[in-house]
Structure 1
Amino acid sequence: MSEVNLLAIVLAAASTFVIGGVWYSALFAAPWQRAADVSDAQLATGAPRIFVGAAALSLVMAATLAPFIGTEGVVFGAAAGAAAGIGWVGCALGVVYLFERRSLTLFAIDAGYFAVAYPAMGAIIGALQ
Protein backbone atom coordinates (compact mmCIF):
# COMPACT_ATOMS: atom_id res chain seq x y z
CA MET A 1 0.00 0.00 0.00
CA SER A 2 2.95 2.36 0.43
CA GLU A 3 3.23 2.73 -3.35
CA VAL A 4 -0.41 3.75 -3.69
CA ASN A 5 -1.21 7.43 -4.06
CA LEU A 6 -3.73 8.29 -1.34
CA LEU A 7 -4.89 11.39 -3.22
CA ALA A 8 -5.65 9.18 -6.22
CA ILE A 9 -7.74 6.89 -4.03
CA VAL A 10 -9.70 9.77 -2.51
CA LEU A 11 -10.33 11.40 -5.90
CA ALA A 12 -11.29 8.07 -7.46
CA ALA A 13 -13.73 7.41 -4.63
CA ALA A 14 -15.16 10.93 -4.98
CA SER A 15 -15.69 10.33 -8.69
CA THR A 16 -18.20 7.61 -7.86
CA PHE A 17 -20.34 10.23 -6.13
CA VAL A 18 -20.21 12.58 -9.10
CA ILE A 19 -21.05 9.79 -11.54
CA GLY A 20 -23.69 8.37 -9.19
CA GLY A 21 -25.28 11.78 -8.76
CA VAL A 22 -25.73 12.15 -12.50
CA TRP A 23 -26.59 8.47 -13.07
CA TYR A 24 -29.20 8.05 -10.34
CA SER A 25 -30.77 11.50 -10.60
CA ALA A 26 -30.48 13.18 -14.00
CA LEU A 27 -30.31 10.03 -16.12
CA PHE A 28 -32.18 7.20 -14.41
CA ALA A 29 -33.95 8.49 -11.28
CA ALA A 30 -37.50 7.46 -12.14
CA PRO A 31 -36.73 4.13 -13.85
CA TRP A 32 -34.34 3.16 -11.05
CA GLN A 33 -36.84 4.10 -8.35
CA ARG A 34 -39.55 1.99 -10.04
CA ALA A 35 -37.29 -0.98 -10.71
CA ALA A 36 -35.80 -0.93 -7.20
CA ASP A 37 -39.27 -0.43 -5.67
CA VAL A 38 -38.06 2.52 -3.61
CA SER A 39 -40.67 5.07 -2.58
CA ASP A 40 -40.24 8.82 -2.22
CA ALA A 41 -40.73 8.36 1.53
CA GLN A 42 -37.89 5.84 1.68
CA LEU A 43 -35.61 8.20 -0.24
CA ALA A 44 -36.34 10.93 2.31
CA THR A 45 -34.94 8.94 5.25
CA GLY A 46 -31.51 7.70 6.29
CA ALA A 47 -29.41 9.85 3.96
CA PRO A 48 -26.49 10.43 6.39
CA ARG A 49 -26.04 6.69 7.04
CA ILE A 50 -26.30 5.89 3.34
CA PHE A 51 -23.83 8.56 2.22
CA VAL A 52 -21.28 7.80 4.96
CA GLY A 53 -21.52 4.10 4.16
CA ALA A 54 -21.26 4.74 0.42
CA ALA A 55 -18.22 6.97 0.96
CA ALA A 56 -16.48 4.32 3.05
CA LEU A 57 -17.24 1.59 0.52
CA SER A 58 -16.11 3.80 -2.37
CA LEU A 59 -12.79 4.32 -0.62
CA VAL A 60 -12.43 0.54 -0.25
CA MET A 61 -13.28 0.04 -3.93
CA ALA A 62 -10.67 2.59 -5.02
CA ALA A 63 -8.06 1.30 -2.57
CA THR A 64 -8.44 -2.27 -3.79
CA LEU A 65 -8.39 -1.24 -7.45
CA ALA A 66 -5.22 0.85 -7.11
CA PRO A 67 -2.73 -2.01 -6.57
CA PHE A 68 -3.99 -3.74 -9.72
CA ILE A 69 -3.32 -0.60 -11.76
CA GLY A 70 0.04 0.28 -10.24
CA THR A 71 1.95 2.80 -12.32
CA GLU A 72 0.71 1.59 -15.71
CA GLY A 73 -0.97 4.90 -16.60
CA VAL A 74 -4.36 6.31 -17.44
CA VAL A 75 -5.22 4.07 -20.43
CA PHE A 76 -4.36 0.88 -18.57
CA GLY A 77 -6.17 2.23 -15.49
CA ALA A 78 -9.35 2.86 -17.46
CA ALA A 79 -9.13 -0.58 -19.11
CA ALA A 80 -8.51 -2.31 -15.79
CA GLY A 81 -11.39 -0.38 -14.29
CA ALA A 82 -13.66 -1.44 -17.15
CA ALA A 83 -12.63 -5.07 -16.69
CA ALA A 84 -13.35 -4.85 -12.96
CA GLY A 85 -16.59 -2.91 -13.34
CA ILE A 86 -18.04 -5.09 -16.08
CA GLY A 87 -16.35 -8.44 -15.49
CA TRP A 88 -16.34 -8.58 -11.70
CA VAL A 89 -18.94 -6.18 -10.35
CA GLY A 90 -21.44 -6.37 -13.20
CA CYS A 91 -21.33 -10.16 -13.34
CA ALA A 92 -21.56 -10.45 -9.55
CA LEU A 93 -24.61 -8.19 -9.56
CA GLY A 94 -26.06 -10.30 -12.35
CA VAL A 95 -25.76 -13.49 -10.31
CA VAL A 96 -27.34 -11.88 -7.24
CA TYR A 97 -30.12 -10.25 -9.28
CA LEU A 98 -30.97 -13.55 -10.97
CA PHE A 99 -31.46 -15.29 -7.63
CA GLU A 100 -33.33 -12.31 -6.19
CA ARG A 101 -35.56 -12.24 -9.28
CA ARG A 102 -34.78 -8.58 -9.86
CA SER A 103 -35.63 -6.97 -13.17
CA LEU A 104 -33.36 -6.64 -16.16
CA THR A 105 -34.03 -2.90 -16.00
CA LEU A 106 -32.60 -2.64 -12.48
CA PHE A 107 -29.63 -4.78 -13.49
CA ALA A 108 -28.92 -2.59 -16.52
CA ILE A 109 -29.09 0.61 -14.48
CA ASP A 110 -26.97 -0.64 -11.57
CA ALA A 111 -24.43 -2.61 -13.62
CA GLY A 112 -24.24 0.27 -16.10
CA TYR A 113 -23.30 2.60 -13.28
CA PHE A 114 -20.38 0.38 -12.29
CA ALA A 115 -19.39 -0.05 -15.94
CA VAL A 116 -18.91 3.73 -16.02
CA ALA A 117 -17.68 4.35 -12.46
CA TYR A 118 -14.90 1.77 -12.42
CA PRO A 119 -13.17 2.95 -15.62
CA ALA A 120 -13.34 6.50 -14.25
CA MET A 121 -11.76 5.39 -10.98
CA GLY A 122 -9.14 3.45 -12.89
CA ALA A 123 -8.30 6.39 -15.12
CA ILE A 124 -7.91 8.70 -12.12
CA ILE A 125 -5.72 6.20 -10.28
CA GLY A 126 -3.69 5.49 -13.43
CA ALA A 127 -3.15 9.17 -14.06
CA LEU A 128 -1.97 9.93 -10.51
CA GLN A 129 0.03 6.85 -9.50
Structure 2
Amino acid sequence: MHIHFDLQQLNWLAVLIATAAAFILGGIWYGPLFSKPWMKAFGLSSDEVNQRHPGKVFGMAIMWTSVAAIMLALFIEPDADFHLGAMTGFFIGIGCITPFMGIHYAFEGRDWKILAINAGYSTLALTLMGAILGWF
Protein backbone atom coordinates (compact mmCIF):
# COMPACT_ATOMS: atom_id res chain seq x y z
CA MET A 1 0.00 0.00 0.00
CA HIS A 2 1.28 3.41 -0.97
CA ILE A 3 0.11 6.19 1.30
CA HIS A 4 -0.14 9.50 -0.55
CA PHE A 5 0.10 12.40 1.86
CA ASP A 6 -0.42 15.02 -0.82
CA LEU A 7 -3.54 16.98 0.05
CA GLN A 8 -3.59 18.53 -3.42
CA GLN A 9 -4.13 15.10 -4.98
CA LEU A 10 -7.20 14.31 -2.90
CA ASN A 11 -10.57 14.20 -4.59
CA TRP A 12 -12.18 16.95 -2.55
CA LEU A 13 -15.64 16.30 -3.97
CA ALA A 14 -15.39 12.70 -2.76
CA VAL A 15 -14.21 13.93 0.67
CA LEU A 16 -17.18 16.31 0.86
CA ILE A 17 -19.66 13.59 -0.15
CA ALA A 18 -18.08 11.10 2.28
CA THR A 19 -18.31 13.67 5.08
CA ALA A 20 -21.97 14.38 4.31
CA ALA A 21 -22.83 10.67 4.10
CA ALA A 22 -21.20 9.88 7.46
CA PHE A 23 -22.88 12.91 9.05
CA ILE A 24 -26.30 11.78 7.78
CA LEU A 25 -25.56 8.24 8.99
CA GLY A 26 -24.76 9.70 12.42
CA GLY A 27 -28.13 11.44 12.49
CA ILE A 28 -29.89 8.17 11.78
CA TRP A 29 -27.64 6.12 14.09
CA TYR A 30 -27.88 8.43 17.10
CA GLY A 31 -31.45 9.45 16.28
CA PRO A 32 -34.10 6.86 15.55
CA LEU A 33 -31.84 3.80 15.83
CA PHE A 34 -29.92 4.24 19.09
CA SER A 35 -30.83 7.55 20.78
CA LYS A 36 -32.62 5.92 23.71
CA PRO A 37 -29.96 3.32 24.62
CA TRP A 38 -27.21 5.91 24.01
CA MET A 39 -28.83 8.42 26.37
CA LYS A 40 -29.55 5.70 28.94
CA ALA A 41 -25.93 4.47 28.86
CA PHE A 42 -24.71 8.01 29.62
CA GLY A 43 -27.51 8.73 32.10
CA LEU A 44 -28.81 11.61 29.99
CA SER A 45 -32.37 12.80 29.52
CA SER A 46 -33.81 14.21 26.30
CA ASP A 47 -33.96 17.61 27.98
CA GLU A 48 -30.24 17.52 28.83
CA VAL A 49 -29.32 16.57 25.29
CA ASN A 50 -31.62 19.24 23.82
CA GLN A 51 -30.11 21.96 26.04
CA ARG A 52 -26.81 21.74 24.18
CA HIS A 53 -26.17 24.42 21.58
CA PRO A 54 -27.00 22.69 18.26
CA GLY A 55 -24.71 24.92 16.19
CA LYS A 56 -21.72 24.03 18.33
CA VAL A 57 -22.56 20.30 18.51
CA PHE A 58 -23.27 19.90 14.80
CA GLY A 59 -20.40 22.19 13.81
CA MET A 60 -17.94 20.08 15.80
CA ALA A 61 -19.47 16.88 14.40
CA ILE A 62 -19.05 18.08 10.82
CA MET A 63 -15.51 19.28 11.52
CA TRP A 64 -14.38 15.96 13.07
CA THR A 65 -16.17 13.95 10.38
CA SER A 66 -14.39 15.92 7.67
CA VAL A 67 -11.03 15.36 9.38
CA ALA A 68 -11.76 11.62 9.43
CA ALA A 69 -12.73 11.68 5.73
CA ILE A 70 -9.55 13.56 4.79
CA MET A 71 -7.34 11.21 6.80
CA LEU A 72 -9.07 8.15 5.39
CA ALA A 73 -8.65 9.54 1.86
CA LEU A 74 -4.91 9.74 2.49
CA PHE A 75 -4.85 5.98 3.15
CA ILE A 76 -6.92 4.94 0.15
CA GLU A 77 -4.87 4.54 -2.99
CA PRO A 78 -5.89 6.71 -5.96
CA ASP A 79 -6.66 3.63 -8.08
CA ALA A 80 -8.79 1.99 -5.37
CA ASP A 81 -12.33 0.88 -6.07
CA PHE A 82 -15.54 0.80 -4.03
CA HIS A 83 -14.65 -2.53 -2.36
CA LEU A 84 -11.05 -1.62 -1.44
CA GLY A 85 -12.18 1.74 -0.08
CA ALA A 86 -14.93 0.12 2.01
CA MET A 87 -12.58 -2.55 3.36
CA THR A 88 -9.95 0.07 4.25
CA GLY A 89 -12.52 2.06 6.22
CA PHE A 90 -13.90 -1.08 7.87
CA PHE A 91 -10.51 -2.36 9.01
CA ILE A 92 -9.47 1.04 10.36
CA GLY A 93 -12.75 1.21 12.28
CA ILE A 94 -12.78 -2.33 13.64
CA GLY A 95 -9.02 -2.70 14.00
CA CYS A 96 -7.87 0.73 15.20
CA ILE A 97 -10.76 2.86 16.44
CA THR A 98 -12.73 0.16 18.29
CA PRO A 99 -9.81 -1.25 20.31
CA PHE A 100 -8.76 2.19 21.55
CA MET A 101 -12.35 3.05 22.44
CA GLY A 102 -12.45 -0.26 24.32
CA ILE A 103 -9.33 0.68 26.29
CA HIS A 104 -10.78 4.07 27.22
CA TYR A 105 -14.11 2.56 28.16
CA ALA A 106 -12.44 -0.11 30.31
CA PHE A 107 -10.51 2.50 32.31
CA GLU A 108 -13.52 4.84 32.48
CA GLY A 109 -15.78 2.03 33.68
CA ARG A 110 -18.30 2.71 30.93
CA ASP A 111 -21.04 0.32 29.92
CA TRP A 112 -20.00 -1.95 27.05
CA LYS A 113 -23.33 -1.21 25.35
CA ILE A 114 -22.13 2.32 24.67
CA LEU A 115 -18.93 0.90 23.17
CA ALA A 116 -21.02 -1.17 20.80
CA ILE A 117 -23.08 1.88 19.79
CA ASN A 118 -20.17 4.29 19.40
CA ALA A 119 -17.68 1.87 17.85
CA GLY A 120 -20.43 0.47 15.64
CA TYR A 121 -21.14 3.94 14.27
CA SER A 122 -17.45 4.73 13.82
CA THR A 123 -16.79 1.50 11.96
CA LEU A 124 -19.88 1.80 9.77
CA ALA A 125 -19.17 5.48 9.03
CA LEU A 126 -15.57 4.74 8.06
CA THR A 127 -16.74 1.86 5.88
CA LEU A 128 -19.26 4.12 4.14
CA MET A 129 -16.73 6.93 3.71
CA GLY A 130 -14.13 4.49 2.39
CA ALA A 131 -16.61 3.07 -0.12
CA ILE A 132 -17.39 6.58 -1.38
CA LEU A 133 -13.73 7.59 -1.53
CA GLY A 134 -12.81 4.38 -3.35
CA TRP A 135 -15.71 4.72 -5.76
CA PHE A 136 -14.60 8.19 -6.85
**Aligned residue identity for 2:34:** F
- Checking the alignment, whether the CA contact within 8 Å between 1:69 and 1:77 is kept in structure 2 is yes
Q: Give ranges in structure 2 of 5+ residues lacking alignment.
A: 1-6
Aligned positions, number: 128
Matching residue of 1:51: 58
CA distance in structure 2 between the partners assigned to 1:70 and 1:37 by the alignment: 42
> Per-residue deviation at 1:3?
1.3
**Aligned residue identity for 1:18:** I
- Is residue 118 of structure 1 aligned with residue 123 of structure 2? no
Q: Give ranges in structure 1 of 5+ residues lacking alignment.
A: none
CA distance in structure 2 between the partners assigned to 1:16 and 1:43 by the alignment: 21
Residue 71 of structure 2: which of 60, 64, 70 is its match?
64
- Checking the alignment, whether the CA contact within 8 Å between 1:78 and 1:120 is kept in structure 2 is yes
* RMSD, aligned α-carbons: 1.0
Percent identity for Structure 1 against Structure 2: 36
- Is residue 12 of structure 1 aligned with residue 6 of structure 2? no
Give the TM-score, by structure 2 length: 0.90
- Is residue 21 of structure 1 aligned with residue 19 of structure 2? no
> Per-residue deviation at 1:10?
0.9
Give the TM-score, by structure 1 length: 0.95
Deviation digits for residues 53-79 of structure 1 (CA, Å, limit 9, x no counterpart): 110111100000001102211110000
- Checking the alignment, whether the CA contact within 8 Å between 1:4 and 1:70 is kept in structure 2 is no
Matching residue of 2:43: 37
